[in-house]
Amino acid sequence: MINNRLLSLVRKEFIQIVRDPRTLYFTFAIPVIQLFLLGYTATTDVRNVPLAVFDQDRGPAARRLIDAYLAADYFRVIRNVSSEAELRKLIDNGEALAGMVIPPDYGDKVAAGRTATVAFVLDGSDPNVASTSFAAAELIGQAHSSKLTVERLVRRGVLEAMQPSLEVRAQVWYNPDMVSAFFMVPALIGMILQLMTSMLTATAIVRERERGTIEQLIVTPLRSWELILGKIIPYVIIAFFDTLEILVVGTFWFDVPIRGSLTLLLALTGLFLVGSLGIGLFISTVARTQQEAMMLSWFTLLPTVFLSGFFFPLAAMPPVLRVISYVIPLRYYLIIIRSILLKGVGAGSLTTEIVALAIFGVVVMTAAALRFRKRLD
Amino acid sequence: MQNLIDVQNLSRAFGKTRAVDDVSLSVSGGEIYGLVGPDGAGKTTTMRLLCGVLRADLGQVTIAGFDVGNQPEQARERIGYLPQRFSLYGDLTVMENLHFFAGVRGLGRKEWLPRAREILTFVGLDEFADRRAEALSGGMRQKLGLAAVLIHRPQVLLLDEPTGGVDPVTRQAFWQLLFRLLREGVAVLISTPYMDEASRCNRLGFLNRGRLMVEGSPQRIEARLKDRILEVEGGPRVILERVARDDPDVEAAHAFGDRLRLRLSRAGSAEIQSRLEKAMIGEGGLVGRIGPSPPTIEDVFIELLEESDA
Amino acid sequence: MPDLIVHVDGLTKRFGSFTAVDHVTFDVEPGEVIGYLGPNGSGKTTTIRMLLGLLLPTEGAATVLGLDATRQAEDIRPQVGYMSQKFALYDELTAWENLMFYAGVYGVADRSRLTETLDLVGLSHIRDERAGDLPLGWRQRLALATAVVHQPTLLFLDEPTSGVDPLARRAFWDLIYGMAEKGVTIFVTTHYMDEAEYCGRVGIMRRGRLLAMQPTSELKRTAFHGKAWDVYARPILEALDGLATLPEVQRAGLSGDHLRAISRTDLQADTLEKGLKALGLQDVSARPTTPTLEDVFLALSD
């Protein structure tokens, strides 16, 4: 016979969760769906930028230049045009995002050892594409140019055919292919966990208030802390299951590695959850209907996502926002999860983040618990 | 007076539930008919069927001579319907609300203002014409609701639980208005879960699970149990109840405050009374007083419910 | 057992400029069945919420079971049962699971108590049905069961029979009386006039003030000053008008096939009849009758 008050409450919550198909769907299906959607679509990699080429030279040197661009795998030629007007039209109507104009004397100038100019036109309306294309175009151009110079010097006999003394090859550590999924999946775990736990906790409590059962609960010997814990514990357990679920999908489908300690990851996830559960609890003391609770959960999530370094690097933000980002728990959690999964670091390298999360969790929980008194007014 | 409301064999089901099951009733002008029953009995559904808001599966409803099914517009013109959850526009004034409802009812620019003033005087809200509806007290809001549904001079008034949880003073005032309407020849059908309100009506119908179980004036309904109700004052309740329930002539026994109320299967007599009293005392009970009590409509409804459950 | 189960002294609650409960004072003795009668907004629910420690009083004090209702609310709770107006049950849980939850929360260790309680309210046959699927009358009884599973000494019932059919209501009150006989003190709030008749003492609340707290028979004798009449006359609607013109008559209304009137105490039957006959009405007869609680209420509200 259950005579533990807290246990009775937790058990009742679980029965309700299990018998409510909508919540179950939300809890287990949506994270995976989100994962697939964002994992595939939210990529910052730029590839296959459609390029239109206006080759006025048509000689072998021009050919070599075009091949160099194609070999880098950033561009794909969609059309060889025969006028600048045509080029402009393609870019205007969006068929091409970039255009290359090779002057008629290109080949001659290269052979003569003089500087040849090639024009590159970019569609600036998508800054992401434009900046990457710009950088790519420059890089490829430089590389090709260096190559030509070396060839010339070798032909002149100044240089022996030798390897260049310095070759800068950017090597991206930990994510050599810069696969976005590796960035996205860990970040997604954080985002989904925060949304889910805060929203589910908030709506669970507000639902009791809407139905009128909260009055009955307050009138029982249940202590405030038991009420809070009883409402939170089921969602903590569910959140852990979700974390594992997402990790499993992330690892086996998206090949996201787990290079660090899984136990450490789960433990620190728990710490992160204290904060987001606190947010949910706080929302429940403010919202009067379940709809309000859901809206407030989304409302707290969106700026959190933007200021956490998820989509946009923190370094690129104005200083004001960067300061604000210091109070966003997701910011620290992202660092933690990416570090553990992709870098395999231990707790020692994460002390700042751990402390920050702990402080946040304690503050939010205390604030919420103070508001959540066993009173109706 | 002619029948302004005429309902024949009305039926309506929602899925497998028969919300209204073969209901027939009629109300003439100057009469007030009470539809009594618990939650879920079908009162609101019946009202909705009467004003054509809901389509009937079977049966016929005639309002002031117009068939609600075939001539819905003409019928609706003659009906004033105050639903249970009648909302007024809080941020509009009393007058503005009336203007809106008058407009919706097709009253032209020249007609609505004098009519609105007239109706405000009738309900006693003329001083508050420019007050916002949300600033009105519960009782005043009720009067405004009534005014809104009377503005087009309906011949038939349908009121769905208009006095729920309301102050008795407000309820009194509301009923006084209804009496005045009756004198003008309006036919009123009011649904209510309150027995005491029901006893004010000229005639009652008791609705339970969609069926009309009994109909008639309150006094005629009460007369069904004429001489069959006894009241016993005394104690302890358990003993008195047990003795009563064991008695062959007692159909039911229920405690009521400090008294025990018995329903006999036949007319009471001094012989039955003394038999009961002796038996009660014999079992160790104390009887202060035992005697007949006039039956109430609640007694009758309970008898009907117990019969239908059996 | 303290002498008084509930002691309320000058209890007041204000919400901003609105006074919901205005200096209410009363006492409740053990084993009483008290009715707290008043329309919506009269302050009755606010009063019991203060007694349950759900709201903080603005002024005044209340003691429940000898303990301070505000500061010692947590100590009072294990001994009090509460059935809220909405019959707050967990719809997804079965009847048994609802009971088990409340039993667990109140520390009831004995599982047989659950079966007993379910038997008491006559719902053993639906123990495994979901609360959300039950009809209103059964939900009401289940809600009562959850309020008494821990055998409280004091029971608060907020509008317990609203919307329920008369038979279910009588059966419900049988249960209440059964408990009262075992010594449980019961406090019922209601806005049904006739429900108050079930109670030993009735407190009448209006606009936050407690107008009276007495047994119904006493109330009808002392609080009501005047005479109530059953008046027969034809035609009935003209008779209603006619009554209103008579100076001694304070109020008149329809009552089925006749009229009811309230007059001053000194009015005699033949005076009344003569007055009506003079207006040309037929078949006139007037008999004094007992006032109703509504008459009492209206008299107290003047």
Nearest beta carbon to residue C298 from set B168, B202, B298: B168
Domain check: are A241 and A337 in the same one?
A: yes
**CA C162, CA C169: separation in Å to the nearest integer?**
9
Q: How many CB atoms lie within 10 A of CB A168?
A: 7
10-residue stretch averages of pLDDT, chain A, 377 residues long: 73 88 80 75 69 89 86 81 88 85 89 84 77 79 81 74 54 50 75 84 86 83 84 86 83 79 86 89 88 88 80 78 83 86 80 89 88 69
- Answer yes or no: is B306 within a domain: no
Residue C76's pLDDT is what?
93
Residue A205: the pLDDT is: 87
Check: CB of residue B175 under 8 Å from CB of residue B5: no
In a domain, C114, yes or no: yes
Residue B90 lies in a domain: yes
Residue A171: predicted pLDDT: 44
CB contact under 8 A, B38 and C237: no
CATH number at residue C229: 3.30.70.100
Question: Do C216 and C296 sit in the same domain of this protein?
Answer: no
| Same domain flag for A217 and A343 | yes
Domain that holds residue B266: 227-294
Phi-psi region of B185 (alpha: psi -120 to 50; beta: other; left: phi over 0): left
Q: Give the CATH number for residue B148.
A: 3.40.50.300
Q: How many CB atoms lie within 10 A of CB A377?
A: 10
Task: Indicate whether A169 belongs to any domain.
Answer: no
Return the pLDDT at A176: 47
Residue at which a domain ends, from A141, A156, A171: A156
Q: Which of C221, C237, C269 is at the close of a domain? A: C221
Query: Under an 8 A CB cutoff, do C301 and B195 touch?
Result: no
Q: Are residues C148 and C44 in the same domain?
A: yes
**CA atoms within 13 A of residue B36's CA, in its CB half-sphere:** 30
Q: Which long-range contacts (CB under 8 A, 24 or more apart) does C232-237 make?
A: C232/C258, C232/C259, C232/C283, C232/C284, C232/C285, C232/C286, C233/C258, C233/C259, C233/C276, C233/C281, C233/C282, C233/C283, C233/C284, C233/C285, C234/C281, C234/C282, C234/C283, C235/C281, C235/C282, C237/B30, C237/B179, C237/B182, C237/B183
Answer whether residue C1 is part of any domain: no
- Residue B305: inside a domain: no
CA distance B184 to chain C (A): 10
Q: Tell me whether residues B168 and C294 touch, CB distance under 8 A.
A: yes
Q: How many structural domains compose chain C?
A: 2
Residue C215 falls inside a structural domain:
yes
Residues C22 and C127 in one domain: yes
ipTM over 0.90: no
Paired tokens of B10: 């009305």
Nearest CB to A12; choose among C74, C90, C91 = C90
Give the model's pLDDT for residue B259: 84
| CB-CB under 8 Å, C181 with B238 | yes
Using alpha carbons, select from A251, A57, B117 the residue that is nearest to residue A65. Answer: A57
Touching chains, B (3+ CB pairs < 8 A): C
Q: What is the pLDDT along chain B (310 residues), one digit of tens a residue?
A: 678 999 999 999 998 889 999 999 999 999 999 999 888 889 999 999 998 889 999 999 999 999 998 998 889 989 999 988 788 888 889 999 999 888 888 888 888 899 999 999 999 898 899 998 888 887 888 889 999 999 999 999 999 988 877 888 888 889 999 999 999 999 999 998 888 889 899 999 999 999 999 999 999 999 999 999 999 988 788 889 899 999 999 999 988 877 899 999 998 888 999 999 999 999 998 888 899 999 999 999 999 988 877 6
> What are A's interface residues with C at a Cβ cutoff of 8 A?
1-5, 7-9, 11-12, 15-16, 19-20, 211-213, 215-223, 374-377
Indicate whether B276 belongs to any domain: yes
B302: in domain: no
CA distance C75 to chain B (A): 32
Residues A262 and A203 in one domain: yes
**C39, C253, C256 member nearest B218 (Cβ):** C256
One domain for residues C190 and C278? no
B307 in a domain, yes or no?
no
Q: Are residues B279 and B208 in the same domain?
A: no
According to the model, what pLDDT value does residue B263 have?
Answer: 93
Let me know whether C211 and C232 are in one domain.
no
Q: Is the same domain home to B244 and B208? A: no
Do C21 and C48 sit in the same domain of this protein?
yes
Whether C134 is covered by a domain: the verdict is yes
Q: Look at C255 and B218 and tell me if their CB atoms are within 8 Å.
A: yes
If one counts the domains in chain A, the total is: 2
Chain C residue numbers with beta carbons less than 8 Å from the beta carbon of B195 are 166, 194
Q: Which residues from C are below 8 Å from B213, CB to CB?
A: none
What is the domain extent for residue A38?
5-43+179-371
Q: What is the pTM of this model?
A: 0.78
Choose one of C188, C221, C254: the last residue of a domain: C221
Q: Do the Cβ atoms of A377 and C55 come within 8 Å?
A: yes
Residues of chain C with pLDDT under 70: 1-2
Domain that holds residue C260: 224-301
Final residue of a structural domain among C162, C197, C221: C221
CA distance linking residue A346 with residue A344, whole number of Å: 7
A233 and A356 part of one domain: yes
Q: C140 and C255 in one domain?
A: no
Residue A6, min C-alpha distance to chain C (Å): 7
Domains in chain B, number: 2
In a domain, A165, yes or no: no
**Can you give the CATH number for the domain in which C95 is found?**
3.40.50.300
